[in-house]
Structure 1
């Protein structure tokens, strides 16, 4: 299944000079490393890639060694075999990558599903950062959302196993206006160049197949049951206009992790870090200085 091609799709990739390809955990990862100082690990969400950190990485690199991989099957990272898109498998894969790079993250930052990967890693003892920052984190099944409906996981698995589905979805993404509508539906207005990179990725059936496979394989209910065991200080950065993970979900997470601190970003949506990387960088730096406490 056709995947993004670094020589074609990555020809003008954001922060391209920071890119490298690293074998770890049975696949080859595309990862960007930038800056100096304590390590900060950044994980994007479902269907995205390192381009989503384009504006944020240089800001954090003034203080940290920033490490941002494409998740398995996403962007320019290889597709894992078997059950490699499940949450525990992705957590183990990222841990293998961090070990291969020789970095133990002091700060862990995850957007949406990326926050769930980091939480799983921390709970399992794969990382022990001083703080975990969830940017509009998808840490629990959304109340009254599709993840709580019995048919959803089965439907997602069916879509992921039908070879024609990724091709159809990528064909629809050939229309930039379709991608623009999809992104506006998150509650965010992002720079036009970011829309271009999303469009480029979504035109590749292999990238779409990874996003579908990830949704089919994940079990956030299991993560929610384990969240009370999270020993790492948790900061929930929430865009008040998020239409993907409703802002009130942060309170449900704090009910499970009472020490969690909520930081609201008024007027920003699910892709807040792409809308206002300056505000998100400031929130992350503040969390790094004072990670503990509600």
Structure 2
């Protein structure tokens, strides 16, 4: 496994993105786990990637509208046992924005596979939050990765049903096609309470530092536009239809107070995927892995020990 290359010179940005995307020397000035960050050219994009720790390779993939800050507490805990690799998805955080049509489930899965090929990485475990779980499931089904286990952390792996589902994609496409909406959203995000309300609406409670990193991202029109385009391009029906043939062992971690992805969706996915398992975290919201990183870390480490990926814990020994 080759180490991640050293930082590359910044690619020449398109004029429209010059000040729209988060800047590493400004928004990233004190980014969580900054010392583990590198910039890598792959799949036609300049990626922000973090790597830390030693041991079996564990890939972390964040959800829509987030970035590597989402793993700020969880990644160092896992790095005590694993080599942890966490990229910013295309268009998110500090990774370059691809053409709009690539901000789709298939496009992101293909581009992330391209990044792994450049880095010569083959993860033995993968964990994805929200839409990140769908990206990883797509990669497993396509044979792009073959991990021993997939952790879906409040995974968004099923299409939204009913009228909301029929309206959401066209509405997101409409918003994403506007040059004005992302800038207005970013302007609202700079207010004191906007991001706090947005986080509260997920059912989660974050510390001030966690809220601040989300504010930095949502104050970036480029980041917001990518999240909207991703939602507008997102089609989960094909993935849902193929889930019954997912061979990777699937663990569905569900926050009992998740107001973004209904907790019963985990039970629905569990019914589709043979051998899958559901773990409920009562009282936690959509960002459960940020609220209780130690508990999520323990789940992943326990899974790895049981599967022989990590040595068993000796009797009487502490983690």
TM-score range for the pair, normalised by the shorter chain length: over 0.9
Asked if structure 2 preserves the Cα contact closer than 8 Å seen for 1:235 and 1:287, the reply is no
- Give the match for residue 168 of structure 2: 152
1:108 Cα deviation after fit = 0.4
How far, CA to CA, are the matches of 1:71 and 1:172 in structure 2? 24
Gaps of at least 5 residues in structure 2 are 1-16, 309-319
1:287 Cα deviation after fit = 2.3
Distance change (3 Å), C-alpha of 1:145 and 1:211: farther
- Give the match for residue 14 of structure 1: 32
- Give the match for residue 128 of structure 2: 110
- Give the match for residue 40 of structure 1: 58
Asked if structure 2 preserves the Cα contact closer than 8 Å seen for 1:191 and 1:274, the reply is no
1:74 aligns with 2:81: no
Moved over 6 A (4+): none
- Give the match for residue 287 of structure 1: 303
1:289 Cα deviation after fit = 2.9
How far, CA to CA, are the matches of 1:15 and 1:248 in structure 2? 34
1:98 Cα deviation after fit = 1.2
1:241 aligned residue (257, 270, 280):
257
2:293 aligned residue (273, 277, 282):
277
How big is the alpha-carbon RMSD for the aligned residues of Structure 1 and Structure 2?
Answer: 1.3
Alignment partner of 2:102: what SS? coil
TM-score normalised by the chain length of structure 1: 0.96
Asked if structure 2 preserves the Cα contact closer than 8 Å seen for 1:22 and 1:31, the reply is yes
**What do the CA deviations read for 1:111-159 (whole angstroms, capped 9, x no partner)?**
000000000000000000000000000000134473x22x321111111
TM-score normalised by the chain length of structure 2: 0.89
Tell me which structure has the larger Cα radius of gyration.
2
- Give the match for residue 234 of structure 2: 218
- Give the match for residue 137 of structure 1: 155
Q: How many residues in Structure 1 have an aligned counterpart in Structure 2?
A: 290
Alignment partner of 2:48: what SS? strand
How far, CA to CA, are the matches of 1:213 and 1:74 in structure 2? 11
Gaps of at least 5 residues in structure 1 are none
How far, CA to CA, are the matches of 1:70 and 1:287 in structure 2? 25
- Give the match for residue 203 of structure 1: 219
Worse-superposed segment, 14-23 or 264-273: 264-273
How far, CA to CA, are the matches of 1:94 and 1:289 in structure 2? 27
Alignment partner of 1:83: what SS? helix
Distance change (3 Å), C-alpha of 1:145 and 1:136: farther
